[in-house]
Amino acid sequence: MQKINKTSNSQAQVYQAQPLIKAQPLFQQVCIIGLGLIGASLAQAIKDNGLSKRLVAVDRYAPSLEAGIEQGLLDAGGLTLSEVITGSDLIVIAVPVQAVEAVFVDIKGVMNSGQLASDCIITDVCSTKGNIIAAAKAVFTTLPIGLVPAHPIAGAENSGYHARRAELFVNHSVIICKLPTTNYMSIIKLRQLWEAVGATVMAMDAEHHDSILAHTSHLPHLLAFNLVEQLASHDDNLDMFRYAAGGFRDFSRIAASDPKMWHDIFFANQSAIVSALDEYSVCLQTMRQLIIDKDSTALMGLLGRAQAARRHFGHMLASTPYTDISAMSASYVISPSTTVTGTIAIPGDKSISHRSIMLGSLAEGVTHVTGFLEGEDALATLQAFRDMGVTIEGPNKGRLTIHGVGMNGLKPSKTPLYMGNSGTSMRLLSGILAAQAFDSVLTGDTSLNKRPMERVAAPLRQMGAVIQSTGTSGTSPLSITGRDNVGKLLQGINYDMPVASAQIKSCLLLAGLWADGTTTVTQPEVSRDHTERMLSAFGYEVTVDGNRISVEGGGKLTGGDIAVPADISSAAFFMVAAAISKGSELTLTQVGVNPTRTGIIDILKLMNADISLSNETHVGGEPVADITIRSSNLMGIEIPESLVPLAIDEFPVLFIAASCAQGRTVLTGAKELRVKESDRIVVMAEGLQTLGIDCTVTEDGLIIEGKGIEGNGTEINNSQPIFGGGHIVSHHDHRIAMSFTVASLRASQQITIEGVETVNTSFPGFAELANQIGMAVQVDSGIDNSIDNA
């Protein structure tokens, strides 16, 4: 995307672009018809980017033309087409919708007289398309091959030549309507033009365009004009306006636009606008009734869904995270530090947060959740259930109220369910959705759409599910056919899991809740058991016999209260931080210490870490404790394979610990690490090598030559640097980013980590907490403000 910088200028604002295409102009001569805001802005952008050898314009208002020529924007201007048209290979019609037909008549005239080539590209910028095509058909017997109707979705309340801004189109969409008569080159060249001025181009047929725009642009304008009119015609209108607050100002902002233009648009797109208005009237009536009925649950559901949907759609379209779209491509710049101390609370457990939404939604009655992790991944699950009609209040400081809809109360989502970066959401939801009456589509961000999904799809098919993954590697998007279309219930199966994965186990157990008969999964090693525990807490019987877990289909869940403990996987970063650094002591309060998650504690203890647990208790069926960890001389070990599933998410930071240990650490049996948010074996090895650590990648693990040196008697010898400095690429994997942050406690120089925006998926507030205990993490949000500031 080009960058457009404003340069100082006396009268009119002139923006000087750093052009993408300086070398070859795209056109010999562009003729802009109509020097209003859009026409003049496009002219300025064409000029600034050197996109045409000559630029001419036609307008009925001579002063605009004169100003354009005087300011060097235009090479020529005329009141009529024939004065300037000769030599043009692109005409841009930027006049009001209703005036376009007359312009077509003029164009036909100059074509017939031989002033204009018959293959000249002719486009427009009007916000309705059906009527433009109808006008062209009325004027030309056969549509010109260069005619490409288009619509830049950009504008401002200010109009006219002097309001022009070359950067008006940057990051805006332009819709091009392909006609059967248009030649291919015309489309290509028009697309190049719009992209060169910073826009994103997409194609659409005219009818679809007009219907979409009726909903997204024309209806909001109509409502804004209408609300202002309603207030203005009120008896006490003066007071109304005097006390009108921000809400009114925001809502009515677009009513400051040109009335004539909107008058024309409303007629030009009459039928699509009328049907959008009818839909709106129905929604308004529904809301009116909810207020009359004081139907609090339904009203909260509607408002909550609308609030979340507004945020969600933006992220979904951009395939970006939920919480902070502006933080894409953020990085950490971390200066070396030596010691961490303090007592801190870590955010809620991700796995338990996901499950609280799922089971709370499927339960009968209300579920109150506290300690919910407001990270991207758990929010993706929350949004999915809202999309399926569940009313969920919050999150508000980790508190949620879920109004359960019962085992058969989910409704089909109107759009594909978007899981963002969250593998847990997608895999567990697949199980639930495979058993629903309705069809569903599940999709994720670019990274999630590369992760293996056949591991859940294949056993679900054995249960009778109809589920389609994408491509030869069986990834998402996933398309799931509902029970009503399959025509039968899922069937309970006995499934021997090839890998110890809690996600596969949970997916199948959840599907088993609706299956005919018993669903039994046998895991090769113990994996986290939060699904089993929470099902029991919601009153659903789960049979556990060693590594065999079974559920009977057809039961029900009863809502209750869930207190989510702090996430031991997030605590792990600070546990390692204290273990590897000098004179450190940290206490992490009320961390979940479910024995299926404490592999990190066992492994660190085997490495000679100083860890103790206190205040041990249970919350919501899960054991919790305060964890205190102090500096120690770590020793390299061979990590027992049985501990691998119990510490599956903690290996990136364990590799940092191993680098600081004395002697070699060998990890085997951890192939699963290759299919996490990144290939965590390869990506960690790359980063470790950048920081000067000797390590060898194996098929199922990593061998790390620790650089720690022997302690002197009882004295701990962990002050010498282990890592150098350097630039780490996280591959947008949250745990990679946080692990290398911890390395800064034993680094000799600054470490920068690129792609840290995904830290929000599991640990919002990580950098702040790291700084609070003594580290020096600076967050560079990666936002280029040059355009906003212009």
Residue 3 assigned ligand-binding role:
no
In angstroms, the first-to-last Cα distance of the chain is: 16
Question: Would you tell me which residues interact with ligand S3P (CB under 6 A)?
Answer: 351, 354, 424, 501-503, 506, 527-528, 648-649, 672
Residue type at 433 in one-letter notation = L
Q: Rank residues 252 and 531 by Cβ distance to ligand S3P and give the closer one.
A: 531
Please give the Cα distance from 133 to 658 (Å, whole number): 68
Contact yes or no for 2/49 (Cβ under 8 A): yes
Distance in Å, CB of 416 to ligand S3P, minimum = 22
**Distances in whole angstroms, Cα of residue 103 to Cα of each of 8, 58, 611:** 36, 10, 80
201: which 2 tokens? 């181009």
3-class DSSP state of 640: coil
Distance in Å, CB of 531 to ligand S3P, minimum = 7
Q: Rank residues 209 and 533 by Cβ distance to ligand S3P and give the closer one.
A: 533
Of the candidates 491, 548, 482, which has an alpha carbon nearest to the alpha carbon of residue 516?
Answer: 491
Distance in Å, CB of 422 to ligand S3P, minimum = 9
SS (H, E, C) 541-602: CCEEECCEEEEECCCCCECCEEECCECHHHHHHHHHHHHHCCCCEEEEEEEECCCCCCHHHH
Q: Rank residues 117 and 682 by Cβ distance to ligand S3P and give the closer one.
A: 682
Q: Rank residues 502 and 564 by Cβ distance to ligand S3P and give the closer one.
A: 502
Please give the Cα distance from 76 to 69 (Å, whole number): 6
Of the candidates 633, 577, 622, which has an alpha carbon nearest to the alpha carbon of residue 600?
Answer: 577
3-class DSSP state of 263: helix
Please give the Cα distance from 647 to 599 (Å, whole number): 4
Q: Rank residues 209 and 451 by Cβ distance to ligand S3P and give the closer one.
A: 451
Distance in Å, CB of 558 to ligand S3P, minimum = 23
3-class DSSP state of 28: strand
Distance in Å, CB of 697 to ligand S3P, minimum = 20
- Which residue number has the CB closest to ligand S3P? 351
Residue 676 assigned ligand-binding role:
yes
Residue type at 84 in one-letter notation = V
Read off the DSSP letter of residue 304.
H
Catalytic residue among 649, 679, 784, 788: 649
208: which 2 tokens? 């679809």
127: which 2 tokens? 């916000």
- Neighbour tally for 27: CB within 10 Å: 19
Distance in Å, CB of 475 to ligand S3P, minimum = 15
Q: Rank residues 49 and 425 by Cβ distance to ligand S3P and give the closer one.
A: 425
* Phi–psi pair at 749, nearest 5 degrees: -135, 175
Q: Rank residues 648 and 653 by Cβ distance to ligand S3P and give the closer one.
A: 648
Residue 350 assigned ligand-binding role:
yes
Distance in Å, CB of 757 to ligand S3P, minimum = 18
**Distances in whole angstroms, Cα of residue 280 to Cα of each of 215, 298, 304, 457, 711:** 9, 18, 18, 39, 73
679: annotated active-site residue: no
Residue list for the binding site for phosphoenolpyruvate? 350, 423, 451, 503, 680, 735
Residue list for the binding site for 3-phosphoshikimate? 350-351, 355, 501, 503, 649, 676
Residues taking part in catalysis: 649
